[in-house]
Structures are given as C-alpha cells and as structure tokens.
Structure 1
Amino acid sequence: MAFILDRLGRAGRFVWSAWSGVAALCLLAAIWQVGHEAYGDFILPAPLATLQAAWHVLGEEATWDLILLTAGRALQGFAAAGLAGGLLGLSAGYSPATLRLTRPLVTVILGVPPIAWIVLAMIWFGSSDGTVAVTILLAATPVVFVGVAEGVMSRDRGLDAMAKAFGAGPWKRLTTLSLRHVATHLFPALVLALGIAFKVAVMAELLANLGGIGGELARSRANLDVAQALAWILIAVAALIAVEYGVVHPVRAEFERWRAAAQPWGVRR
C-alpha cells in the first residue's frame, strides 16, 4: 500500500507541475495570435484555425497510421542513437585518452547539417526506412555521447574509492554509484536527442518522399495550404511531447528518486 501511495503521490506532483508548461503554451499562443493579426491568414493562420484543422485531420483514420509511421521511425533511430551514444560515452569516459581522441570526431559530426546526412543516406539506402534511421543515428548519437562521457568524467572519485574500500566490486560500483550520477547528464541529452529524432524523421520523410507526417507536409506545401501545414506540425510536436513526458520523464523520475528524498512536500530546491 505504501508503494502504491508513493507512486500516486509522485504522479500527482508530476501532473500538477504541468501548469507551468500550460502557461508557456498559452504565452506562445498569444504571440502566435499577434503574428496572425499582423500578417494575416495566408502567412500565419490563427491558433484556433490551426487547432480546428488539426482536429479535422485527426478525425481521419489514415492520419493515425501516418503518425505511428513517423513516430516508429523516430523512436527506432532514437533507440539506436541512445544505445550507441551511451555505450561509447561510457567507454570514453573511463578512458581520458579515448575521450581526447574522439572529441574532434564528435565536433566534425555535429558540424555536418542533418540535411546533408539525409542526402548521403538517400544515396546509400534510397527511399527507405534506413535513410531515416541512419540520419537520426548520425545526428543524435554525438549528443548522447557527450552527455554520458561528461557524466562519467565528473563523477565523485572519492565515493568510488570509499565503495571500493568497503568491498564493492567494479560492477557494484558502476551500477550503484557511477550510473546514477551519469543519469543526471544522460537524460537531458536523451531529451535533446529525442527532439532531434522527430525533427530529422519528418525532414527525411519530406525530402525522400517516404510518406508519414513529412509526406503530408510536402503535400501541404504543394497546395500552399499553410493551415494544413501548421496542423501537421502541431501533430508532430504533440507526438514528441507524448513520448517525452509519457516515457522519458517517468523513467528519469525512477532513476532520480534520490533528488526528492530530502524535499518536503511542494518545495523545489
């Protein structure tokens, strides 16, 4: 019962904290409305008109298949980038020489625009899901790599030495000390990588004519339908928010329960 009450309390605090996000979205809608009144419907449709267009699009059964297609591609690339970046960053963090060697390579990879990777992936893999996956892998892996490597490098070696003195082996020290510290750097990098994954997936679909949300954006562009294009953009962002706050942040909360252990109810330090 105590376990259930604890989970319900944490879920309630998480939902209650969403008010600040709602306020930020309302501010964005207000700025959007000002832009609409200044430039008109053709340049920037009103937020309400865009929401109505998005609601109409979501009422079609085929829309959900397109959303799942884009989200599936983005999540596949995100999972590959998270795994590759995490393992490489963990290895490089424990080897300063390897980290110094890989930093210039990471800078070079980050310096290449995602659209350039899309063009190369289209040449290598054609118009297929491999184009999306490889582009996301190349664009998002360096972000996760840097986050994990910096997390390992900044760990408290005194705690590691203390655990070793009390008989904790390498695996025990890794799982109970190092990984919990690395998680504080890993999850912000994963949130950024998730955003990159969705953006790159939509961009690759648009350029490579792979269907999904990107394909619908290409159709809206051809028809000069700005409201329809903004509706699809809202749907893509909503899918991203659903994955981020429905999967990534709950997992992060499980890893970082120690942060709230000493905090009284409702107090944020």
Structure 2
Amino acid sequence: MSALTDRAGRVGRFLWGGWAGLAGLALFAALWQAGHEAYGDFILPSPQATLWACAAILSDPENWRIIGQTLQRAVWGFAGSAVIGGLAGLIAGYSPATMRLARPLLIVVLGVPPIAWLVLAMIWFGATDGMVIVTIMVGVVPLVFAGTAEGVANRDRGLDAMAQVFGAGPLRRLWGVGLRQMLSHLFPALVLGLATSIKVAVMIEVLSSVGGIGNELSRARQYMDVTQALAWVCLAVAGLIALEYALVHPVRAELERWREAARPWGVKR
C-alpha cells in the first residue's frame, strides 16, 4: 500500500509540474500572436487559425494514420539508437582504450552531412521505412553514445570501491552504482535523441516523398498554404511531447527515485 501511495505521489508531482510547461507554451503563443499581428496572415497565421487547422486535420482518420507513420518510424529509429548507443557507450566508458578508438569514428560519422546518409540509405534500402530508420540511427546513435560514455567515465569511483568492500559483485555494482550515476548524463541525451529522431524523420519524408507528416508539409509548400504547414508542424511537435512524456520521463522518474531522498524537504525541481 505504501508503494502505491508513493508512486501516486510521484505521478501527482509530475503532473503538477506540467503547469510550468503550459506557462512556457502560453508565452510562446503570445509571441506568435505578436508576430502574426506584425506580419499578417500570409507570413505568419495566428495561433487560433493554426489550431483550427489542426482540428480539421485530426478530424480525418486518414491523417491519424499519417501521423502514426511518422511517429512509428521515429520511435523505431530512437529505440535502435538507444540500445546500440547505450551499450557501446557503456563499454567505452569502462574501457578508456575503446573510448580513444571510438572518438575518431564519431568525428567521421558526425562530419558526414545528413543528406549524404539519406542518399546512401535510399540506394541501400529504397524508399522504405528502413531508409528512414537507418538515417535516424546514424544521427542519434552518436548522441546517446557520447552521453552514456561521459556519464560512466565521470562516475565516482570511490562509491564503486565502497560497494566492493561491502561485498557487491560486478553486476550489482554496475546496476546499483555505475548506472545510477550515468543516468544524469544519459537522459538528457535521450531527450535530445528523441527530438532529433522526429526532426530527421520529417526531413527525410519531405525530401524523399515516402509519406508521413513530411509528405504533407511538402504538399502544403506546393500550394503555398502556410496555415496548413504550421498545423502539421504543430502536430509533429505535439507528437514529440507525447512520446517524451510517455517514454522517457516515466522511466527517468522510476530510476531516479533516489534523488527524492537526497533533496531537502520542500525543494522541488
């Protein structure tokens, strides 16, 4: 019963913290409205007109399939990047020699323009979901790798030694000490990687016409429909926020419960 009460309390604090995010969105909408009044409908439609366009898009069930197509590609690419980048970063963090070997490879991968990877992926996989997923992974794996490796490399080795003195085995020390410290670097990288996955997926869909939100943005560009384009952009951002708060933040809250005990009473994030 106490565990359920504790979990319900964390969920309540998490939801209550959303007011700060809503305040930020309200400020952004106010700036958007000011830009609309300064430049007019053709350059920047009003937030209200864009919301009505979003509602019209969502009223068509086919558009839900289009949005789901983009989000599915982004999630698959993000999941693959999290697994590969996380495991590789974990190995590199515990092995300085592996880290020294990996750094030049990261520079090479990050130095290649994303459009070049898109061309290569189109040749290798054709106009398929695999092309989108591989291109996403090429851009996101280095971010997750760097966050994981940095977190492991900067861990407090004194805590690891203390756990060893108290009889903790290698796996117990890895799970209870090393990974807990690494998470403070990993989760920001995961949030950035998820956002990058959505952006890369939409960009590839615009350039390659494989469906999804990007294809609808390309169509809006052809008709010079700024309101429709902004509506699709807002829906992509809404999908990103939904995925972030459904995938990353609940896991982070569950794995970082120890921060609550270390935080003084009444002090919140």
TM-score range (shorter-chain normalised) is over 0.9
**Matching residue's letter, 2:215:** G
Quick one: distance in 2 between partners of 1:194 and 1:208? 21
* Residue aligning to 2:145: 145
Aligned residues: 269
What per-residue deviation string (whole Å, max 9, x for no partner) do you get for residues 164-203 of structure 1?
Answer: 1222111111111111111111111000000010111111
Quick one: distance in 1 between partners of 2:12 and 2:234? 26
Quick one: distance in 2 between partners of 1:268 and 1:73? 35
Quick one: distance in 2 between partners of 1:42 and 1:213? 21
TM-score when normalising by structure 1: 0.97
Query: How high is the sequence identity, in percent, across the aligned residues?
Result: 62
Cα deviation, residue 108, structure 1:
2.5
* Residue aligning to 1:255: 255
Change (3 A) 1:74 1:97: same
Cα deviation, residue 40, structure 1:
1.1
Quick one: distance in 1 between partners of 2:47 and 2:172? 53
* 1:225-240 paired onto structure 2 within 5 Å: 225-240=225-240
CA RMSD of aligned residues (A): 1.2
**Matching residue's letter, 1:180:** R
Q: What runs of 5+ residues in structure 1 fail to find an aligned partner?
A: none
Q: Does 1:22 align with 2:22?
A: yes
Cα deviation, residue 264, structure 1:
5.3
Quick one: distance in 1 between partners of 2:184 and 2:178? 10
Quick one: distance in 2 between partners of 1:50 and 1:197? 24
User: Secondary structure, in 3 states, of the residue corresponding to 1:261?
Assistant: helix
Quick one: distance in 1 between partners of 2:242 and 2:72? 13
Q: Does 1:176 align with 2:176?
A: yes
* Residue aligning to 1:128: 128
Q: What runs of 5+ residues in structure 2 fail to find an aligned partner?
A: none
Quick one: distance in 2 between partners of 1:139 and 1:258? 32
* Residue aligning to 2:113: 113
**Matching residue's letter, 2:100:** R
TM-score when normalising by structure 2: 0.97
Quick one: distance in 2 between partners of 1:26 and 1:13? 21
